[in-house]
Structure 1
């Protein structure tokens, strides 16, 4: 029951039109495990399985050269230790690996869009600002190699993020990892749509 109370406090639906005011209201904990749904905790625990499965399927379907071109972004064990995540504007692109058997491609990479990481009270918030599928949520402290992202998916011309926990099809969980100097990725295992894993690659907007 404790995490249900916390989910109600995770006020994503209370945010102004993106990219408006901070959307954090009150959280009684900074431990993501007490905020995440059971289904999302299970998804995150299988991130590496999702990653390797997506890579294998894409390579089998003839995308080996595209995967090689990703460099560290496409390597499951590329994460580096870090202390802080720089806030500011980022360029981000989404790479989708694997399929859910619905006629989609096993490898898709999209052009770069606009993203931001900003302070949300004593946490950080991640926003994908442009594009038709826009993850929006919070980055929680975890270990030296990742921050855990909890958020929801904003679609199309929607201007407000849905409350986390209100719709499992929109809930998202992921791991933000550093993979190089000013080079980050957000791993989103087993998304509700299309792929086995989504990788959002981030570089500072000035680069």
Structure 2
């Protein structure tokens, strides 16, 4: 594991210690990171595994295939979901600011027999804080699959999300890069005035594309 990956793993665990268990509502927040420098666009490449760089590179082909299957299975639901499922919607300010969020998960394109090609979960609780290095960091607080990870700015309209997946009653995240089945990698964009999404192509489980939609709570 590189020094950058080790730092990401440490930041993830430190956030969980402060933000889970009985202290979920007392997670310390920090000022948002400063505007990215020119070199920031390559920072995520130093952290991401080779497999995740490959998944991110092929995001568009994956998205179009998954969306076509979802439209065939649930056309009205795909239309109703709106911009969050459309691949080319990307506004400026791609990283959600710190705070409490409602988040919901869409899964498009079945990865195995017996799974639906379209699945939309109800709203869960999420929080955006800051990692030890100053990057914005997501923790999905509720649900049986809980995403934890860091946002790295790529350009003015896209950021990369790298993290891991917590399951069931686990209280700590597996460090990023240790278990490929738990690693998460996705493109983050803003799709509305106060609406963001993380689109994760080719996750290990269930779907060709998993999308997390984030909107401020309250």
TM-score normalised per structure 2: 0.84
Q: How far apart are the structure 1 equivalents of 2:118 and 2:172?
A: 29
Q: Secondary structure at the match of 2:112?
A: coil
Are 1:108 and 2:119 an aligned pair?
A: yes
Tell me, in whole angstroms, the C-alpha distance in 1 between the residues paired with 2:185 and 2:72. 27
1:7 and 2:18 matched = no
From the superposition, tell whether residues 41 and 164 of structure 1 become closer, same or farther in structure 2 (CA, over 3 Å). Answer: same
1:140-191 deviation digits (Å, cap 9, x = unpaired) = 1210111111100000000101110100000001111100100111111111
Alignment coverage as a number of residue pairs: 197
- SS at 1:157's partner residue? coil
| Aligned-partner Cα distance in 2 for 1:97–1:160 | 28
Match of 1:11, SS state, is helix
Instruction: Name the CA shift for 1:83/1:71 in 2 (closer, same or farther; >3 Å).
Output: closer
SS state of the match for residue 70, structure 1? Answer: helix
Give, in angstroms, the shift of residue 17 of structure 1.
3.8
Segments of 4+ moved more than 4 angstroms: none
Q: Distance in 1 between matches of 2:146 and 2:18?
A: 10
Matches within 5 A, 1:84-103: 85-103=96-114
- Tell me, yes or no, if the aligned pair for 1:50 and 1:190 is still in contact at 8 Å: yes
The 3 A distance-change label for structure 1 pair 6 and 95 is same
- The aligned residue for residue 54 of structure 2 is 42
Give structure 2 stretches of 5+ with no counterpart: 21-26, 29-38
Aligned to 2:36: none
1:165 aligned onto 2:163: no
Q: Which has the higher helix share?
A: 2
Q: RMSD across aligned C-alpha pairs, in angstroms?
A: 1.9
CA distance in 1: counterparts of 2:147 and 2:184, whole angstroms: 8
Output one character per residue of 1:21-76: Cα deviation in whole Å (capped at 9) or x when no partner.
Answer: 67xxxxxx960101100000010111111211111112223x11100001111111
1:66 pairs with 2:77: yes
In the superposition, relative to structure 1, how do residues 83 and 60 fare at CA in structure 2: closer, same or farther (>3 Å)?
A: closer
